[in-house]
Structure 1
């Protein structure tokens, strides 16, 4: 699928089909055993990504690209950063706004739209947890190049190219197009490294039940 078609599908899924699921998944509410492993994996990955950044972010301008329900936004703001949280789903942004602690609100701007939009300006760092996993390598490389020209550091996740995820990706293609949720596109990180400008390194892979994700860091 083209980038624009994938973006539309992601928007439809998160803003109309899966809002309540993600609200529970990103909270302390009870969830099924499978979703509990996904929650644990996402928590570990968020900590891994935050470890790539300084502990004190006072004065830093950070973009949370695909901020969803705002968990990363809160932690970045708590470290002193001025955070711009962008997501394609206004419904998820409403959840993020409700959850934001009062003392952190002056340092946070939440916006609905395309996380790659150039009019967002420049940043000291960009973080993107599980928001770039739906795009083909050429599209992802193009967008990463755009972000790296506007930031000294981009920390993001990809779905690694494992046998399990490739089987999952193949099964997703069997469903009628109208019935499909956005399916992650497993990435060959070596191929992605060749496709992007700058220095791309693999930080860590996190595996927790059905959650399998690799943290990457891109510097110009």
Structure 2
């Protein structure tokens, strides 16, 4: 993946969430009732978010965590309340503004919560964000081909000391069928392309790279609820 390709891809994602689907994603990640396909997606995302959060210690005091692609900030706030110092980064400035508003409401309701959270709009690979004990990235790398996702993970690992926890789109026949159905909609109504991959192979190739010496494959878990299909993967080092 060249820098030009990366910039073009991130631009497409930013445009979608800032201008095309902002209101829909606010409803999906909020408390408002949803129905039909969105209800299955919300249920699947909740299960996945619980999975990723559950792979981290309950007591996160002293941990600095990057929520890469934080969206509306739900996961960031949960980790903050478990004691972590969290940086939530997202391409969408509008979603970051929504996350900040949610954080203010959560702090007002629970002013004594441990940890901290800071939401920023920008590139998850920005070295100025600093170093982290762990990186969590939910349903972000699903928009990258296998080789590109590997390179993104490798760059994140350079600034991470303990764990990479992320999701990939598994190359199942069901997901491919749903993506084919989605391609029938007008282009303006489509989300950024999802790239089905073999998650186990992506991780196997990632940890085999010389730059990943000391890292090893960890847990995996697939969530398939209606129109939501995603696979959680973990890479760790002592």
User: CA separation in 2, counterparts of 1:57 and 1:77?
Assistant: 8
In 1, are the aligned partners of 2:165 and 2:234 still within 8 Å (CA)?
yes
- Structure 2 residue runs without a partner (length 5+): 208-214
- Over the residues paired in the alignment, what is the CA RMSD in angstroms? 2.1
Q: Secondary structure at the match of 2:143?
A: coil
Mapping of residues 17-32 of structure 1, within 5 Å: 17-32=20-35
Count of matched residue positions in the alignment of Structure 1 and Structure 2: 220
- Matched with 1:188 is 198
User: CA separation in 1, counterparts of 2:173 and 2:26?
Assistant: 30
Query: Are 1:213 and 2:216 an aligned pair?
Result: no
User: CA separation in 2, counterparts of 1:91 and 1:12?
Assistant: 11
Q: Quick one: which of 36, 45, 56 aligns to 1:42?
A: 45
Q: Quick one: which of 11, 15, 32 aligns to 1:12?
A: 15
- Structure 1 residue runs without a partner (length 5+): none
Please state how far the C-alpha of 1:191 moved relative to its aligned partner.
2.7
Q: CA, structure 1 residues 58+5, in 2 after alignment: closer, same or farther (shift >3 Å)?
A: same
Q: CA, structure 1 residues 170+209, in 2 after alignment: closer, same or farther (shift >3 Å)?
A: closer
Please state how far the C-alpha of 1:179 moved relative to its aligned partner.
6.4
Q: Quick one: which of 170, 175, 181 aligns to 1:160?
A: 170
Please state how far the C-alpha of 1:131 moved relative to its aligned partner.
1.4
TM (normalized to structure 2)? 0.85
Q: CA, structure 1 residues 105+25, in 2 after alignment: closer, same or farther (shift >3 Å)?
A: farther
Q: Quick one: which of 145, 168, 182 aligns to 2:154?
A: 145
Q: CA, structure 1 residues 52+210, in 2 after alignment: closer, same or farther (shift >3 Å)?
A: same
Mapping of residues 92-131 of structure 1, within 5 Å: 92-100=95-103, 101-102=106-107, 103=111, 107-131=116-140
* Runs of 4+ that moved beyond 4 A: 170-180
In 1, are the aligned partners of 2:90 and 2:123 still within 8 Å (CA)?
yes
Please state how far the C-alpha of 1:146 moved relative to its aligned partner.
1.1
